[in-house]
Amino acid sequence: MDMNTEWYRVFYRTALCGSLSKAAETLHITQPAVSHTIKQLERQLGTPLFFRTPKGVVLTHEGKALFAYVEQAFRMMEAGEKKLAEMRDLESGEIHIGASDTLCKHYLLPYLRKYRAAYPKVRIHVTNRTTDETLGLLKNGHIDFGLVNLPVDDDKIEIRESLTLHECLIGDVGFSPDGGKSLTLAELQNYSLILLESGGSIRRFLDRYALSHGVVLNPELELGSIDLIVQFVRNGFGLAFAAREFIEEELASGQVAEIPLLPPPPPRRIGIVTLKGTPLSAASKRFIALLPYEKAASKSGGTSVPTD
């Protein structure tokens, strides 16, 4: 039996009002339309649902049995509508974000504080993963959006380019390059080099940059985070690359020193990534609106390193 929701809506309102005319008023339809709808429902169910009285209508025994279920259904729908309204107005709901440890600390954290202060009832879940892992979580539906290091090349991903980063070469404060104040990329082979572990997006970016100038980066140490790399540099273990925007405090306080490098790495960007064709919740849209972004990215998703 096909269920006509509108018939049940008329039945529900008529039972609540106890009157065909009052039900018609509430539903903004005519009284004959209410009467006709009730008769159609009674015919389909094969039983009378109301007694007609001089004062209005009263539910039959069968009508009371049906009303108990219909009332529950409409109350659940009303609760659902209320919940959606709360989520739309950010009175409830949740967001799931994916980002690396470095992006969480140096990029995401201030916006998390701002968002929580504005919308304290929205639950925030952050999953720390590499760029490649974050993209996997996004495509599998485990997060609403992610923050990644560009470039990214994936036809399923929508990318907004955000903050521009500038990789710089750093050493401990006592480091002095041989023969001058700057180094060439080729001369890095004469020094101990510390890089992020291979396979990650930043490491790929640096390797491509070096190869585009005929140089292969051969690190003596490979570490899992920028913060750890900075600690090793401070303690004199070698030279390393780090985004200048993320180590401003260490540079300003003299914990590490920037070493001019020729040619310098090209700028790169952080990307805000979402899944193409998948609508975002109101909570996620409001969070993304807080983040800085410059333009819709190309398919590659950001600045690429020139190649020969």
Q: Which domains does the chain have, with CATH numbers?
A: 5-88 (1.10.10.10), 94-163+269-296 (3.40.190.10), 167-266 (3.40.190.10)
Cα–Cα distance, 74 to 67 (Å, whole number): 10
Instruction: State yes or no: pLDDT of 301 exceeds 60.
Output: no
Burial (CB count <10 Å: 0-12, 13-18, 19+), residue 215: middle
Cα–Cα distance, 173 to 303 (Å, whole number): 31
Instruction: State yes or no: pLDDT of 296 exceeds 50.
Output: no
Q: What is the pLDDT of residues 105-138, one digit of tens each?
A: 999 999 999 999 999 999 999 999 999 999 999 9
Instruction: State yes or no: pLDDT of 181 exceeds 90.
Output: no
β-bridge partners, 271: 148, 161
Q: What is the pLDDT of residues 165-177, one digit of tens each?
A: 999 999 998 887 7
Cα–Cα distance, 115 to 112 (Å, whole number): 5
Write down how long the chain is.
308
pTM, two decimals, is 0.70
User: For position 290, what pLDDT does the model report?
Assistant: 94
Instruction: State yes or no: pLDDT of 302 exceeds 80.
Output: no
Q: In this structure, are strands 183-184 and 145-149 parallel, antiparallel, or unpaired?
A: unpaired
User: For position 179, what pLDDT does the model report?
Assistant: 57
Q: What is the mean pLDDT of residues 39-59?
A: 93
Mean pLDDT of the chain: 90
Instruction: State yes or no: pLDDT of 160 exceeds 60.
Output: yes
